[in-house]
Structure 1
Amino acid sequence: MSKRIAAKHKIDRRLQVNLWGRAKSPLNKRESRPGQHGQRRHKPSDFGIQLMAKQKLKGYYGNIGEKQFHKYYVEATRRKGDTGENLVGLLERRLDAVVYRMKFVATPFAARQIVNHGHILVNGKRVNIPSYMVKEGDVVEVRERSRQIPQIMEAIESGERDVPDYMDVDPKAMKGTFVRTPKLADIPYPVQMEPNLVVEFYSR
C-alpha cells in the first residue's frame, strides 16, 4: 500500500466516516480509530463536534492547508447570503474540485496531481494551479495529449460516481462546462457535511 493510500485510510478512520465513499475504505471492514487498540469513545464537546465538522469538510477536498481553508471562510463571510452555503460554493469552484466532479479522475488527490502536471485546460488555456477559481460558464477539459493517461481513462469509464447537474460534461470529448455554483443540497457528498458548524467553529 502506498503512503498516500495509507494516509487517506487513516483520515477515514480518524474521522470515523468513509469520507470519499470509496469501496476500499477501511471503515467498510472495521470502525476502530487509528492505533493498536483504537481509542475509547467519549461524548464530544460542542467544540469537538465543530472541529470534526471542519476537519471533515477540509479533508474531503484533499491537501488544503489550514491557512488557505480559513481564507475561504473569510471570503464566505464577506459575501451576501448564508456563510456556510458560500463556503461550500467556493470549495466547489476550485479547479481540482471541478476536475474531480467532472469524473476526469477518481479522487480529489488525483485531481490536484493532474492539474499540477499541466494536463487541464480552462477556456483553452493550460492552468496548473489546483486552487484556481472556476467561474460559471468556464469550459474545463483534458489536454488532447493527456487523454490517453490510464487513470483518466479509467475514471471516465467508471460507474462509481455520477456527474452532478451543475456540470455539463461530454465524457467522450473529456470536456465540461461549469454551469453554476452549487448549493449544499446539490453537492454529492458521500457523508453529511455541516458547514454551519464550520462557521460556528471559526466564529468562536
Structure 2
Amino acid sequence: MTKRTSAKYKLDRRMGENIWGRPKSPVNRREYGPGQHGQRRKGKLSDFGLQLRAKQKLKGYYGDLTEKQFRRIFADAERLKGDTGENLIGLLESRLDAVVYRAKFVATVFAARQFVNHGHVTVNGVRVNIPSYRVKEGDVVEVRTQSKQNVTVLEAVQLTERDVPEYIEADHSKMTATFVRRPGLSDVPYAVVMEPNLVIEFYAQN
C-alpha cells in the first residue's frame, strides 16, 4: 500500500472539500476539519493561507507527491513556453500514474501509483514501473496481459462516478489508453476547483 492510503481522506476534511469526488469521502457527512479542534477552524484565510491551501490541494490530489517532486514539476512548467499554470496542470496530468487513473484502469490516484509500481503497465510496449514517468503525446499505455483480468481493474472500468477525459482515448476491451494531448486546466475533470494561479503566487513569494 502507498504511504498516504490511510490518511487520504484527511486531506478532504482539512480542505473541507471532496477532492476526488469519491462517494465515501467524510466531507459528505462532516464538513469540519480532522482532529479535536477541527470544528473550530473556520477563520478567514490570509492571502498566504489561500495560496498554501491551493498548493496543498493540487499537490495532494496527485497522491504521494513530495514537496521536492512537486516543486520540480513546477520548475519544469516555468521553463516551458506559455502559461505556467496551464503548463503545470499539463505536466501533472502527463504523469504515468495520472494517465492510468484517468483511463479508469484503477479506482483511485493512490491505486494508480501502486499499480504502476508493481509493473502492471507498459508504455509503447515497454514495461514501466515509475509512476512519475512523463507520458508524451501519442504514447500508448496498456495494462499488461497477465493483469487485464485483475478484479480491481475490471471493477474500476465499470465505475460510473467519473468518465475518461477527451485528452485520453481509452479502449477498455483491449485495456489500452492513448495520451492524445497535454491538457489545460479546463480540460481536466477535477471534482473541485483547482487554482494553479495561486500556486504560482505561492512559489513566487516563498
Given the two structures, how large is their TM-score scaled by the length of structure 2? 0.96
- 2:117 matched to which residue of 1? 116
Summarize the alignment of residues 1-204 of structure 1 with structure 2, pairs less than 5 Å apart.
Answer: 5-38=5-38, 39-204=40-205
**Moved runs in structure 1, 4+ residues, more than 6 A?**
none
Q: How many angstroms apart in 2 are the aligned matches of 1:85 and 1:99?
A: 21
Deviation at 1:5, TM superposition (A): 4.8
Letter in structure 2 aligned against 1:106: A
Distance between the aligned counterparts of 1:102 and 1:195, measured in 2? 23
**Per-residue CA distance 1:168-194 (angstroms, 9 max, x = gap):** 110111101000000100000000000
Aligned-partner residue type, residue 119 of structure 1: H
Structure 1, gaps ≥5 residues long: none
> Secondary structure, in 3 states, of the residue corresponding to 1:54?
helix
Shift of 1:4: 5.2
The one-letter amino acid of 1:102's match is A
The whole-number CA distance in structure 1 between the counterparts of 2:19 and 2:152 is: 21
Task: Give the Cα separation in 2 of the matches to 1:66 and 1:7.
Answer: 17
Segment drifting more, 39-48 vs 191-200: 39-48
CA displacement 1:51-84 (0-9 Å, x = unmatched): 0000000000000000010001111111110000
Q: Is the 8 A contact 2:169 2:179 kept in 1?
A: yes
Q: Unaligned regions of 5+ residues in structure 2, if any?
A: none
Contact 2:140 2:176 in 1 (8 A): yes
CA distance in 2, matches of 1:108, 1:185: 20
Could you tell me the percent identity over the aligned residues? Answer: 66
How many residue pairs get aligned? The number is 203
